Every structure is written in C-alpha cells, then in structure tokens.
Amino acid sequence: MEKIKLTAYDAAEFLGTEKLQKGYLDYVAKEGTPEELIEAIKTVARAKGMSKTAKETGISRSGLYKALSPDGNPTIDTLIKIAKSIGYNLNISFSPIKTNC
C-alpha cells in the first residue's frame, strides 16, 4: 500500500488577491468568533506577504512576526493596521451589558 503524504492546510495559500482577502475577513467577521477573526487577520497578513504587510502597516517585520506568532498577542492597533493595509475597515463597537437587576 502506498503511503499518503499529508501537509498542513494554510488558508493563506488560497487568498492571493485583495478581493479574496476581504471576502475571507467579511465572512469570518460575520460568522466567526473574535478569536477566529484575529486568526483570519493573521492569515491575511501571511497571504499578502509579511514584508509587504510590515511596510504598509509601519510595523517592523520582526515585530509583525512576533505579534502574529502562535504565542503572540497582537494589540488591537496592530490588527486594525493589518486590516487597513488591504482596505478593510475594522471597527470595534461596544453594546451595553444587560443585567437582570
């Protein structure tokens, strides 16, 4: 029996255009969790290319790698800059918390 070689799936490999990147972010923003949206923004940064993303965001390449690493904890500012670099407006709004008091 022939062995099958599997490779890890990386959505960034399929987001080669700005239109696809925006569509991906739109979908995740509407259907996903905040954590999934953060991962989607990281994926878009990789799809664009880290050097290009760093240049467009004004964040150093090493800083971008650090913030977007699996152990990284990017700030909201970093995430907004990455989204903005593809023309995507990431707005954060807060809703009042309803209490039963």
**Model pLDDT for residues 45-82, shown as the tens digit of each residue:** 999 998 999 999 999 999 988 988 888 888 888 888 88
Tokens of 66: 């650090």
Whether residue 15 contacts residue 24, with contact meaning beta carbons closer than 8 Å, is answered with yes
Tell me what the mean pLDDT of segment 81-97 comes to: 79
Q: Would the pTM of this model clear 0.85, i.e. be above it?
A: no
* pLDDT tens-digit series, residues 13-53: 999 998 999 899 999 989 999 889 889 988 999 999 989 99
**What is residue 90's predicted lDDT score, i.e. its pLDDT?**
77
In this prediction, residue 62 carries a pLDDT of: 92
